[in-house]
Chains A and B, each alone.
Chain A
Amino acid sequence: MIPRTLILTALLALTGTTQAALSWSSQLPPNPHADHAGHGGHGGRGAGTPFILRDGDGATAQLRLPTLVRRALEPDAQGLVTLQPSGLLSYHLLLATRSSPGREEVALRYHYLNGKPSDASPSLLVNSRKATLDIIPAPLTREHQRYQANGAYHYLLRYGDLPLANTEVRLTTSNGSVLSTTSDHRGRLSFTLPDDFPEVQAGRGANRPAEFLLSATHTQAGTQHLTTLSADYHADPAHWRSALGGWLALLGGFVGGLAVVQFSRNSSEENARD
């Protein structure tokens, strides 16, 4: 069992501290009804998707395609990068790195883009070497599945080519929550995303997605490795979906179906008697 402990609901100041790490975040649309992630969480078309590289001074950024082809990214002064379609349909990786003596920082973010189907499996991208300390989604979400509050998601922590055990990984959200967990002996860890949206409106499109950030630190051979992995997540649909109502409706259909069978049988028997 992977230990999972809710440490505290963070104060805004604490969240601000966490945001200081090298990390990617999406530039949220001004209108919460504008579905910036496109249908089913696999990216919009045409106009490009904006991302911000936080605390990116001195960092180099690149886009890694599903085929592992690399394209340099040039964030502007505010760290803004607009991701254009690569022509390939699959997950892409936004990767930022910064090295200084005794310190190696990496920021990761996976993003689904539309295009022609790619022969490359996403496993090629997620398992490719991109950082000495890597947080690997295990797995990435599939179509019709997005990260959402109250959902449990799994990751693998890897140092070099080996799983990294017993290492703390922190999760912070833009809604102010902070959680922490420790990787198990095989480097695995999981988080249940907090249900921390302050005012949930009914409907998926009515709620602006929030951001979560996983961060892990590991020091070895005098070098501190700091890696972040970010993604957006959505309000739990259970807020506007009633499971009990669904089961009752299903039961109603079943009972109604039995009644129809009985009624039609009675009618045909009466007709036969007449």
Chain B
Amino acid sequence: MTDRLNLSLLRKLVQLLAFLFLVYGSAIVGFYTADKISGALPALACAYDQQTADYCTLIPFQHQMDHRVGMVINAGGDLLKALLPSLITLGTFLLMFVVLNKAFCGWICPLGFFQEVLSLIGQKLGLRRIESLPEGLVLRVRPFKWVILLLLVFGLPLLAGLGSVGHELGSPYCSICPSRILTTLAAGDTSQVYLDTSSDGYFVLSLIANLLFGLMLAWGLFVRQPFCRICPMLALHAAFRSIGLVRLVKQGKPRCEKCGLCAKACPMDIREIHTEMEQRDVLFADCTLCGRCVEFCPDKEVLQLKYVTLPLFKADPAYFKRRKQAQGQWEKRNLLAWWRKRRGGAA
């Protein structure tokens, strides 16, 4: 890495390109080809966006639970045959997942990128940011992603297919997903911002969706990655993280106990990266493989991003020094500081 180019900047560039591809990609791959890629990339690219080049994998899961599995269980039939599309969806997800592991979250997801942009805006406005959430809150929030995955992506759609709940719960996660609103708005389509009055269920879901998106906008200015912490895609990734080829490994040293810079740098507040001293694999369930912990580790090769056994990026004292300096200068430049300086100068 040169003085100007660092891992975070490289990641932002990749995220920007991924955002453009996932939100406007049909302009590149063609309108109909975009349809064919559906369900392949496990990023939150939304099928409701008519310009996207890809569909989020959570959409077919919900539809298959509702329209295939639930209905077959209800009406009787070949359950294995009904499960086959879900297994194929899972297979395509895993194929992509093996290649990049959880780096999809930190490097490709459009919603993750959008939250980083919000964070950047908050920082550049000079807002008093909450750099780390309290540990108790972080621990309390963590199970929500599993609840959302199991209940909204699999449970309720299955019950809808069984006829136990209304059809409005056939794709409840999509109904509340902030990415549906984000990607359609980014494509110039405002039709997904609505309150649906056709039934109580649709009304509640549409209300939650808009409130959640508004909350994410507000919290994104102050807190890093607020929605990622409860995202079911993070949970889906976490469930299979041991088979991904990209790894985050740690070779703890006694100095680590007093340091903790890696945990402070982590946008997901994974304090275990700091405290874990025994196991080498520190790819925790909430990790998005953004690599910030490696960047801000001051000790040589304590933290490493690896592709199987091949090192991709290692902690390095010289890099850390440059990176910390660059971060300090970057954070000093904001609108509030500029305004204060201007007023001070005028006075």
Q: Residue of B at shortest CB range from A251?
A: B214
Contacting residues of chain A (247-261) with chain B, CB-CB under 8 angstroms: 247, 249-258, 260-261
Chain B residues with CB under 8 Å of A237's CB are 191, 194, 196
Q: Pick out which of these stretches binds chain B: A15-23, A72-80, A117-125, A222-230.
A: A117-125
* Contact call B198/A206, Cβ cutoff below 8 A: yes
Kindly identify, within residues 194 to 238 of chain A, every residue whose CB is under 8 Å from any CB belonging to chain B. 202-206, 237
Summed over the interface, the residue pairs from A and B with CB atoms below 8 Å come to a total of 121
Q: Which of B164-203 contact A (CB under 8 A)?
A: 167, 181, 190-191, 193-199, 202
Please give me the residue from chain A that is nearest to B167 by CB atom: A205
Q: Is B299 interfacial (CB 8 A cutoff)?
A: no
Is B332 interfacial (CB-CB < 8 Å)? no
B interface footprint on A35-72 (CB within 8 Å = 1, 0 otherwise): 00001100000000000000000000000000000000
Q: How far is the CB of B114 from chain A (nearest CB, A)?
A: 15
Question: Pick the contact of A242 from B47, B194, B215, B219 — CB < 8 Å?
Answer: B194
| Nearest B residue (CB) for A151 | B191
Question: Is the CB of B211 closer than 8 A to any CB of chain A?
Answer: yes
Known: A123-B32, A241-B196. A250 touches B218 (CB 8 A): no
Determine if B304 is an interface residue (Cβ-Cβ < 8 Å): no
- The number of chain A residues touching the other chain, given as a range, is 35 or more
For the complex, give the distance between the alpha carbons of A257 and B32 in Å.
39
Q: Which of B32, B63, B198, B207 contacts A121 (CB 8 A)?
A: B32
Given A204-B198, A242-B197, A246-B210: A258 touches B32 (CB 8 Å cut-off): no
Contact B214 A202 (CB under 8 A): no
* Chain B residues within an 8 Å CB radius of A251: 214
Q: Is A265 an interface residue when CB atoms closer than 8 A count as contact?
A: yes
- In this complex, which of A142, A203, A242 has the most chain B Cβ atoms within 10 angstroms of its Cβ? A142
Number of B interface residues in the complex (CB < 8 A): 43
- Which residues of chain A in 123-163 are interfacial with respect to chain B, using CB atoms and an 8 Å cutoff? 123, 139-140, 142-145
A270 CB to closest chain B CB (Å) equals 14
Check if B50 sits within 8 Å of A145, measured CB to CB: yes
Q: Which B residue's beta carbon lies closest to that of A122?
A: B32
- B258: CB under 8 A from chain A? no
Chain A nearest Cβ from B220, distance in angstroms: 9
> B37-50 interface mask toward A, CB cutoff 8 Å, 1 = contact, 0 = none?
01000000001101
A contact residues around B55 at 8 Å (CB): 143
Does the CB pair B210–A265 fall under 8 Å?
Answer: no
- Asked if B63 and A246 make an inter-chain contact with CB atoms under 8 angstroms apart, the answer reads no
Q: Are A39 and B215 in contact (CB under 8 A)?
A: no
Secondary structure at the B interface, as helix, strand, loop or mixed, is helix
B-chain residues with CB within 8 Å of residue A240 when the two chains form the complex: 196-198
Contact of A253 among B33, B134, B197, B217 (CB under 8 A): B217
Give chain B residues whose Cβ lies under 8 Å from the Cβ of A258: 218
Q: How many Å lie between the Cα of A39 and that of B35 in the bound state?
A: 16
| Shortest Cβ distance from A117 into B: residue | B36
* Chain A: CB-nearest residue to B180: A144
Q: Which residues of B contact A203 (CB under 8 A)?
A: 198-199, 202
Q: Bound complex: CA of A257 vs CA of B122, how far in Å?
A: 14
Chain B residues with CB under 8 Å of A101's CB are none
Contacts of A205 in B (CB 8 A): 167
Do B47 and A144 have beta carbons less than 8 Å apart? yes
Please tell me if the beta carbons of A249 and B219 are within 8 angstroms of each other in the complex. no
The yes or no answer to A245 lying at the interface (CB within 8 A) is yes
- Kindly provide the distance from the CB of A152 to the nearest chain B CB, expressed in whole angstroms: 12
Bound complex: CA A72 to CA B205 (Å): 46
A246 to B209, CA, bound (A): 9
Complex contact B195–A257 (CB within 8 A):
no
* Cβ 8 A contact of A142, one of B50, B198, B219: B50
CB pair A241 B194 closer than 8 Å:
yes
Interchain nearest-CB distance for A71 vs B (Å): 22
Closest to B35 in A: A142
Instruction: Tell me, rounded to whole Å, the shortest Cβ–Cβ distance linking B208 to chain A.
Output: 9
Contact assessment for B194 and A253 in the assembled complex, using a CB-CB cutoff below 8 Å: no
Q: A117-B36, A249-B214, A255-B218 are in contact. List 12 more A-B contacts (CB 8 A).
A: A39-B63, A142-B35, A143-B38, A143-B47, A202-B197, A203-B199, A242-B197, A246-B193, A249-B206, A253-B216, A257-B216, A261-B130
Write the residues of chain B forming the contact surface with A, with a CB cutoff of 8 angstroms.
30-36, 38, 47-48, 50, 55, 63, 67, 128, 130, 134, 167, 181, 190-191, 193-199, 202, 206-207, 210-219, 222-223
